Amino acid sequence: MTPTLHVDPLVPETMPVISAPPVDQPATAPGAWGTGQDLPEERIYRHRLPVRIGHWLNVLCLFILIMSGLQIFNAHPALYWGDRSDRDRPLLSIRAVKSDGGQVNGITTILGYPFDTTGVLGYSNNSARAFPDWATVPSAKWLAMGRQWHLFFAWLFVINGLLFATYAFISRHFTKDLLPTGRDLKHIPQAVKDHLRLRHPMGNEAKRYNVLQKLAYIGVLFGLAPLIVLTGLTMSPTIDTALPWLLTIFGGRQAARTIHFIACFSFIGFIVIHVAQVMLTGFLNNIRSMVTGYFVVRHEGVKR
Amino acid sequence: MKHEQAMERRGFLKATVGAASLVALAGCDKLTQSSWFPSVLHKAEGLTELAQRAVTPANAMAKEYGEGDISDVFPANGNTDPGTEEYAEMVKNDFADWQVLIDGLVTTPTMFSLGAIKEMPARTQITRHDCVEGWSAIGKWTGVPLGDLLRNVEPLPTAKYAVFYCADIDDEGLSYYESLAVVDCFHPQTILAYELNDKALDISHGAPLRLRFERQLGYKQAKYVKRIELVESLADIGGGKGGYWEDQGYEWYAGI
C-alpha cells in the first residue's frame, strides 16, 4: 500500500503543498478551495440519511439529557457505592460550606479530598447549588421539571438509538464502516501518534473512518450509550423488581447512579474531543457532510 | 498570516458555540415556562407507565435485604411532624385513638382502629427506599398488607385508585395526600407500616401508620395515614393530579 502523507490543517505552513494556488485563481469546483492540482478534490456521499437524522437527534437529546441530569443531580449532590447512601461516606460530594468568617465556599470532595470550587461547583452566582445555573435545564433549581425534561428525552434517545442500531446492522453500516478491520487494529499505534500530533488522514484515507474514530464511535454507540441507559433503568425501583440482575451487575442502585454520572462525563469528554476533531479537520466540510451527506476529500498534497 | 486566521476562526467558533448554547438554554427555560410544552414532556409518563407495567410481572418483588444492610440513619424527608393540635393530642395518647377509615367505592366502608390493624397478620420486609432526589436508604418495615385490609371492605369493580389522606398539613395549609392504582395496593409488599427497624414508627417517619409501596419512589410513601378512599377518578381531589407532590409537577407514576 502507499503510505499516506498527513497534514495538519491548523498549521498550513507545514503543509506539503505541491503547487500552492495563486490567491486570485478562481475555484475550479463548487464549494471548493480550488487548486491547480489534477482532480484536487472529490465530492463523496459520506453519511446516509438515517445516520444524519440519528446524529442530530442525538445532539439534541444529549444536550438536554446532560443538563437536565445535572439538575437532578443537584437535588442530592453526592455519589455513593452499593445500594444505600451512607451520607458520612460519599465517594463525591459538592456542597456549599459556610466558613467561620461567614463566607460561603463551594467545596467538592472526591474520595475524602476537599477542593475549593467556589464560583463553579457548590456555590455560584450567590446561590448554593452543585452545578451552576448555566449548566442545568431548567436553569433555576427545579427538580420536578428537570425530571420531566430528562425522562422525555431519555425515551427519544432510546428510541433513536434502537432505530439507529437496527439500521446499522441491516444496512451493514456497522460491518462496513464502523467495525475495525485487522489492518486497522495493527495501525493503532501509528494512528495514536498521528492524532497526538494533530495529523489527520487526507485523500482516499479520509473517505473512511480511521481506526481511532471507529473505536470511539463503536465504544460510544454500543458501549457507553447502552451503559448509561441501563444504569438509568437500575435507578428505577419498578425495573429493579422486573430485572433484579441489573442491581447485581452494577453493584447496587447507588453504584448504578455513580456509574450513570461517570458515563455522563464520559459523554461530555467524547463530545469535547469529537467537536474539536470536527473543527480541526475542516469545520464547514464536516458539518455539511452531516447535514447534506456530501463530504469533500482533498487530494492535493497527497501521494497517490 | 494564515496562523492568525486560524486563531481568529477558532475564536469565532468558540464565540458561536457559546452564544448558541446560551440561546438554547434560554430557549429551554422559555419552553419550561410556556403553557404548552410541559404537557408535551408529560406524555413520557404515560409511555413509562405502559412500558414498565408491560415488562414487570404483577407480583414481581422488590429486593429484600439482610439485617446487616439496614442504614444506620434513615433520613426523614418531607413533613417530619404534622404539627396540628389534633395530632399532638394523638401523640400524647400514644396513638391509642388513631383510626383509619376505608371508604369510597367499597361494599362495606369500615373504620379500623390502630389496635385492630396491629392484631392482623403482619409482614416484615427489609427494603430500599429510593427518594426522588436520588438517595437511597434501607429499612426494616413491619405492617399489615394493604391487600388484606382492602379484602375486608371489598372494593367495587369501578374502584381504580386508592387515595391516602394524611394528617399533615404544609406551611400553606394544604393537606398531604397520595394515591396508588388499586391493583398496586394488592402487591404483597404494599403494607401499612407501624414499625421501622423493630420500633414503633416515630413521628418524623410517619407515626403511627404510613404506606410502604416498594416499587415506586419515596414521595408515594404517604405518612400519617388516616383515611383511604377508593375512587374512579383523581380529578376532583386536591389539585387533581393524584397527590401533594404530583400537584407540584412530579409524576403520578413514580416508577423511575
Q: What span, in angstroms and rounded, lies between the C-alpha atoms of A85 and B52?
A: 25
Q: Range of B34's domain?
A: 2-47
- The answer, yes or no, to whether residue A302 has pLDDT greater than 80, is no
Integer Cα distance of B145 and A94 in angstroms = 40
Closest Cβ–Cβ partner in B17, B48, B61 for A151: B48
Residue A6: per-residue pLDDT: 45
- Which grid cell sits at A89? 461516606
CA distance B70 to chain A (A): 9
Q: Which residues of A touch B212 (CB under 8 A)?
A: none
Cis peptide before B208 (omega within 30 of 0): yes
pLDDT of residue A303: 56
* Confidence tier at B172 by pLDDT (50, 70, 90): confident
User: Min CA distance, B35 vs chain A (Å)?
Assistant: 13
The answer to whether residues B134 and B165 belong to one domain is: yes
How close does chain A come to B109, measured CA to CA in Å? 31
Confidence of residue A129 (pLDDT cuts 50, 70, 90): very high
Examine the pLDDT at B224 and tell me if it is beyond 90.
Answer: yes
Q: Is residue B235 part of a domain?
A: yes
Asked if B124 and B43 sit in the same domain, the reply is no
Q: What is the pLDDT averaged over residues B109-116?
A: 98
Residues B138 and B196 in one domain: yes
Interface check B6 vs A, CB under 8 A: yes
Is B133:B78 a contact under the CB 8 Å cutoff?
no
In the prediction, which pLDDT does B214 show?
Answer: 97
Query: Given this model, what pLDDT does residue B6 score?
Result: 63
Contacts of A138 in chain B (CB under 8 A): 28-29, 32
- Residue B118 falls within a domain, yes or no? yes
Verify whether the Cβ–Cβ distance A63 to B6 is below 8 Å. Answer: no
Going by DSSP bridges, is the β-strand pair B123-130/B136-145 parallel, antiparallel, or unpaired?
antiparallel
For B43-78, write each residue's pLDDT tens digit: 999 999 999 999 999 989 999 999 999 999 999 988
Phi/psi zone of residue A203: left (φ > 0), alpha (ψ -120 to 50 degrees), beta? left
Nearest residue of A to residue B49 by CA position? A238
> Strand locations in B37-190, DSSP E?
99-104, 110-113, 123-130, 136-145, 161-169, 175-181
Q: How confident is the model at residue B7 (pLDDT cuts 50, 70, 90)?
A: low
What SS3 state is found at B193? strand
Task: Quote the percentage of chain A above a pLDDT of 90.
Answer: 80
Can you tell me the distance from the alpha carbon of B1 to that of B28, in angstroms, rounded to the nearest whole number?
A: 41
Q: Which residue of B has its CA nearest to A83?
A: B136
Q: How confident is the model at residue A125 (pLDDT cuts 50, 70, 90)?
A: very high
Residues pairing with A78 in the sheet: A93
User: Average pLDDT for residues B30-36, to the nearest whole number?
Assistant: 93
Predicted local distance difference test score (pLDDT) of residue A25: 39
Answer whether A239 sits within 8 Å of B71, measured CB to CB. Answer: no
Do the Cβ atoms of A88 and A78 come closer than 8 Å? no
pLDDT for res A201: 87
Residues A70-96 have pLDDT tens digits of: 999 999 999 999 999 999 999 999 999
Q: What is the pLDDT of residue A21?
A: 42
Looking at the fold, whether B124 and B175 belong to one and the same domain comes out as yes
Alpha carbon distance B215, A239 (integer Å): 8
Pick left, alpha or beta for residue B127 (phi over 0 → left; psi -120 to 50 → alpha; otherwise beta). beta
**Spatial distance between the Cα atoms of A195 and A209, rounded to a whole number of angstroms:** 13
Q: Does residue A133 sit in helix, strand or coil? A: helix
Scan residues 125-164 of A and list those with Cβ closer than 8 Å to B: 134, 137-140, 142-145, 147-149, 151-152, 154-155
Q: Which of residues 236-295 of A touch B (CB under 8 A)?
A: 236-244, 247, 253-254, 257, 275, 279, 283
Residues of B in contact with A254 (CB under 8 A): 135-136
Taking a C-beta distance cutoff of 8 angstroms, is the pair B148, B102 a contact? Answer: no
Task: Say whether both B128 and B183 belong to one domain.
Answer: yes
Is B54 inside any structural domain? no
**Which pLDDT score is estimated for A299?**
85
How far lies A276's CA from each of A269, A271, A279, B210, in Å?
11, 8, 5, 54
Nearest residue to A147 (alpha-carbon basis) of B181, B242, B130, B42? B42
- The domain total for chain B is 2
Average pLDDT (A110-126) is: 96
Give me the total of CB pairs closer than 8 Å, taking one residue from chain A and one from chain B. Answer: 149
Q: Per residue in A195-229, pLDDT tens? A: 999 888 888 888 999 999 999 999 999 999 999 99
* B148/B213 same-domain check: yes
Q: What is the pLDDT of residue B2?
A: 55
- Does B182 touch chain A if contact means CB atoms closer than 8 Å? no
In a domain, B187, yes or no: yes
| Residue A38 pLDDT | 58
Mean pLDDT of the residues in chain A:
88
- In this prediction, residue A298 has a pLDDT band, given cuts at 50, 70 and 90, of confident
User: What pLDDT band is residue B10 in, cutting at 50, 70 and 90?
Assistant: low
Q: Contacts of residue A63 in chain B, CB cutoff 8 Å?
A: 21, 24
A40-73 pLDDT, tens per residue? 889 999 999 999 999 999 999 999 999 999 999 9
Q: Please compute the mean of the pLDDT values over residues A172-197 and round it to a whole number.
A: 94
B48 touching A (Cβ < 8 Å): yes
pLDDT at A182 over 60: yes
**β-bridge partners, B231:** B161
pLDDT of B4 over the 60 cut = yes
Write down the pLDDT at residue B174: 84
For residue A238, give the nearest of B6, B24, B52 by CB distance.
B52
Residue B132 C-alpha from the chain's centroid: 9
Verify that B36 and B72 share a domain, yes or no. no
Quick check: helix, strand or coil at residue A49?
Answer: helix
State the Cα–Cα distance between residues A71 and A140, nearest whole angstrom: 9
The verdict on a CB contact (< 8 Å) between B63 and A244 is yes
Give me the pLDDT at residue A208, please: 92
pLDDT of residue B119: 97
Are B11 and B128 part of one and the same domain? no
Q: Does B255 reside within a domain?
A: no
> In the structure, what pLDDT confidence band is assigned to residue A30 with cuts at 50, 70 and 90?
very low
Contact A86 B71 (CB under 8 A): yes
pLDDT at residue B113, as a whole number: 97
Domain locations in chain A as residue ranges = 79-130
Instruction: Answer whether residue B256 is part of any domain.
Output: no
Q: Alpha-carbon distance B77 to A128, whole Å?
A: 20
Same domain, residue pair B28 and B77: no
Q: Does B212 touch chain A (CB under 8 A)?
A: no
Query: Higher model confidence: residue B16 or residue B106?
Result: B106
Residue B204: how many CB atoms within 10 A of its CB? 15
